[in-house]
Every structure is written in structure tokens, then in C-alpha cells.
Amino acid sequence: MKRVYGSPKSMNVSEEKDEDSTVKCRERRRRRMAKRKMKMASVIAVTREEKHNCGTNSTEGAASMSLNISVAETPPVYGMTSVIGRQREMEDEVSVRTSLCRPEINGFRPVHFFGVFDGHGGRHVSALCKEHMHVIMEEELMRVKVDGGGGVDEMWRAAINRSFERMDEMAIGLCVCGAAGSSGSSFSICRCSTRFSFMGSTAVVSMVTKEYVFVANCGDSRAVLCRNGRAMPLSFDHKPDREDERGRIEGCGGRIMFSNGARVQGILAVSRAIGDRLLKQWVTSEPEISITKREAEDEFLILGSDGLWDVLSSELACNIVHECLQENKNPSVKARVEGASSGGAYPSRSELAATLLVRLALGRRSTDNMSVIVIDLR
């Protein structure tokens, strides 16, 4: 018997179902593809946004970094030089420490240290000052805590005074040979050299900050500020015949004698100094301190030992440095000092200016050691 598996009617129904399934599959596929396209479009949009945000953040970060760099305080440009002059021994010393410390007393901003030390009786004390003064100054400044109980100026003065006092104690208590003596009234030390008793040094020290110039002077080295083209003294020489110094010395039982100039007890030509153990009763190490607020017209600061100031006035020195530091200065200015150093080249106009000052002083027959620091404040 022949079997029949489907009738025409049933076969038509099956074909219709297959067609429906095919149509539905195509529709589902189109929907899936549409969803995928929408998803891809969303991903691309998000990626572009992230890239845009990343670029924006990078730009903002770079701008912020640039701003931080621009507002950072850079050390002042300076130049210095020292020459033995017409002496047999070099007793001057120079010390520079930019960004010495960031004390609370200065709002945690940098303090730049500059010092000129003119020794007498030998270089022992001036060498000690070069090696230790900035270290002591840093310790004293970092020790100060601003608690609102006193004026900031007085805190600075107290810290500077303590620094000079500690430096003086070291100078009178440490012999040339390195032996340490007592700091009592007898100042007993080893007896390897009697010269030690008369060794000392002047000291002119400046701490430069963004807002102020602090100068501490003990002796006849000098600090001069040039403001708007004019010389402005920030220190005054401590000479035995200065009226107030003479009164102080005589009030302590000392005498001023004239032998090639006024001298304490006929020996020392300055009335204040670090060291000088046997003259300590009359020769104090207490510095005179000036605090000067910086102004836009400030051009530069000169620190120099007396070998310079013996033959150059403060006004002439400022005029010379002013010309050297000009942006459009005459090239002949540099030509006049070519060959002043073995290299014949100067890393900064400040060093060129310092060299020119020393050469002029030598030409004016200065007989002493000379040390000069020129600090550009612009």
C-alpha cells in the first residue's frame, strides 16, 4: 500500500511557516545589527569624549605646572671675585649659599646667604667664618617659630645676633692648630702660637629674600644697595674714631690711639670684629643690622671688603656696576676687562662688574686684599 506523508494543504502550511520563520529571522538580524551599530556609536562617542577630557586635563596640568614653575623663586644672579692685591698673604674669604634654607620666619620661602670676611693677623678666623657662619645662620633661622608673640623683624634680629655670637665663641675658642680651648673668662687655649690672640675678622653678611634684604655688619667691610641708580648704604663702617664707637670703647675702659690711623689700644683699626681674643673686652662681635624692604627700583647689592672701599666711593662703585648690568650696554665695557681672569670669559654680567671694580681699585693703588660680591636683584 502506498503511503502518503502529506497532503497539498499540509505542505502549503509548512511552506508558509518556513517563509514566516525566514522573515522573522531577517527582522531579528536587522534588529541585532541596529543594536550593534548603536552600541558602537555610543562607544565611539564615549572614547572621543574621554580623549577630549584627557587632552583638556593634560593641557590644564601643563598650564598648572607652567604656572608653578613661573611663580617659583629662583636664586638671584651673582658674581664674585677675590684678589690678594699687594699683600703677601690672602686673608679675605667669601661665602655664597643660595637657597640656604626655608625657615618658618620667612614663610617657608628660600633665604639666600652672601658673606664677605676680611681677616687680620692671618686667615684663620675668616676661614672659620666661611666654613661655619652659613651653617650657624641656617640653624638659628630654622629654630625660630612664629607664634604671634613678637615682631618678625625682632625675630630676625635675634637670630642674626645669636649667629654672630656663636661664631665669635668658636673663633676665640678654636686655635690655629685645631685645639679647642675653654670659653671662660680666661680664654685658655693651647700656646702653639701667640699670633692667635690677635687673629680676627670683619664680617658683612646679607640674607636676601623675595621681600627683604637683611644686612649684618661687624667691622669695616661694606654693603651698598643701588636703588634707581643711586647708592644706598646698608651698613656703616665700625672705626674706632666713630663717635658712638669711641664712646662705647672708652666706656669699657679702653683707649683709642692714633698710629697710622685710629686703633683700639693702639693695635686694631676696627672697633668690631669676630675673634681678637685679647681685645674682646673692647672689640665686640655684635653686628649692626639693617632690614630693607625690596622695591621695584632696586637694581643690585654690592658686598666688599675694605680694600675696595679704601679707594672707591659707594657712588662710583654703583655707577660702574649699573653700566655693566645694563641690557644694552656698550660692548667696549667688556673689552676693558678682557683677560682679567685666566679664562677670559664671564658667566654673568654680575661677575664682570665685580671684576671691573677690583681692577679699578688696583689701578687706584689699593694695597689690601679685595673681595667683592655683586648680587643682581632684578
Residue 73 has a pLDDT of: 78
**CA 95 to CA 201: how far, in whole Å?**
14
Q: Which residue, chain included where needed, has cell 644697595?
A: 225
Reply yes or no on whether the pLDDT at 70 is more than 90.
no
The three cell numbers of residue 49 are: 569624549
Q: Where are the domains of the chain?
A: 1-72, 73-376
Q: Report pLDDT digits (tens) over 281-337.
A: 999 999 999 999 999 999 999 999 999 999 999 999 999 999 999 855 555 555 554
Confidence bin at 19 (pLDDT 50/70/90): low
Chain-wide mean pLDDT for the chain? 83
For residue range 232-265, what is the model confidence (pLDDT) as tens digits? 999 999 999 999 999 999 999 999 999 989 999 9
363's grid cell: 689701578
pLDDT at residue 132 greater than cutoff 70 = yes
Select the more confidently predicted residue: 191 or 143.
143
Of these ranges, 44-48, 265-269, 326-330, the one predicted with the greatest mean pLDDT is 265-269
Residue 150, CB-side half-sphere exposure with 13 Å CA sphere: 10
pLDDT at 201 over 50: yes
CATH classification number, 73-376, choose in 1.10.10.60, 3.40.50.150, 3.40.50.300, 3.60.40.10: 3.60.40.10
Of residues 7 and 293, more confidently modeled = 293
Q: What is the DSSP string of 27-41?
A: HHHHHHHHHHHHHHH
User: Measured at the alpha carbon of residue 126, what is the angle toward residues 125 and 129, in degrees to the nearest 5?
Assistant: 90
Which pLDDT score, from 0 to 100, does residue 24 have?
A: 65
